[in-house]
């Protein structure tokens, strides 16, 4: 795509891309590929054209697509946070139940120990 840009735009675009750290550039490319794959075939080239601002209409289209993708990511993130919060509450509830059951079991064991004539010399106070 960069090859089809006029020389001055091509050089400006390449200069911007050279300033981006390689790892960030790879991440950006992966996101762009995912977006392109999610678009219908008749919109893919228009999106790529918009990224390189081939025309104002294409650039506006790409901006809209990227904004929609960001909104979806934010929604998924919020949903993930809600799921994690729910799982944490379930875990905390289960942990409290297990702790209560362990305490009750120890108490029953202590009662049996005393019933059978045991003392608390080698165990913590009952």
For the chain, the domain total comes to: 1
Distance CA 89, CA 86 (A): 5
pLDDT for the residue numbered 61: 92
Residue 120 in domain: no
pLDDT for the residue numbered 39: 92
Rounded to the nearest angstrom, the gap between the alpha carbon of residue 55 and the centroid of all alpha carbons in its chain is 33
pLDDT for the residue numbered 124: 59
Task: Quote the domain boundaries for residue 86.
Answer: 2-115
pTM across the whole model: 0.53
Residue 124 in domain: no
Tens of pLDDT, residues 20-42: 888 888 888 888 888 899 999 99
What proportion of the chain, given as a percentage, has pLDDT over 90? 10
Whether the Cβ atoms of residue 3 and residue 10 lie closer than 8 Å to each other: yes
pLDDT for the residue numbered 12: 76
Low-confidence ranges of the chain (pLDDT < 70): 1-5, 118-126
Residue 106 in domain: yes
pLDDT for the residue numbered 88: 87
Q: In 20-55, which ranges are continuous DSSP H helix? A: 22-38, 41-51
pLDDT for the residue numbered 41: 92
Residue 121 in domain: no
Residue keyed to tokens 């104002």: 56
Q: DSSP states of 59-105 as a string?
A: HHHHHHHHHHHHHHHHHHHHHHHHHHHHHHHHHHHHHHHHHHHHHHH
């Amino acid at each position: 795509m960069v090859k089809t840009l006029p020389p001055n735009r091509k050089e400006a675009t390449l200069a911007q891309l050279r300033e981006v750290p390689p790892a960030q550039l790879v991440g950006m490319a992966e996101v762009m590929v995912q977006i392109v794959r999610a678009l219908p075939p008749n919109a893919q080239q228009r999106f790529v054209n918009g990224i390189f601002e081939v025309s104002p209409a294409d650039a506006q289209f790409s901006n809209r697509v990227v904004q929609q993708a960001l909104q979806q990511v934010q929604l998924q993130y919020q949903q993930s946070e809600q799921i994690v919060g729910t799982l944490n509450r379930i875990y905390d509830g289960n942990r409290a139940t297990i702790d209560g059951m362990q305490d009750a079991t120890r108490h029953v064991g202590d009662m049996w120990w005393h019933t059978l004539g045991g003392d608390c010399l080698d165990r913590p106070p009952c």
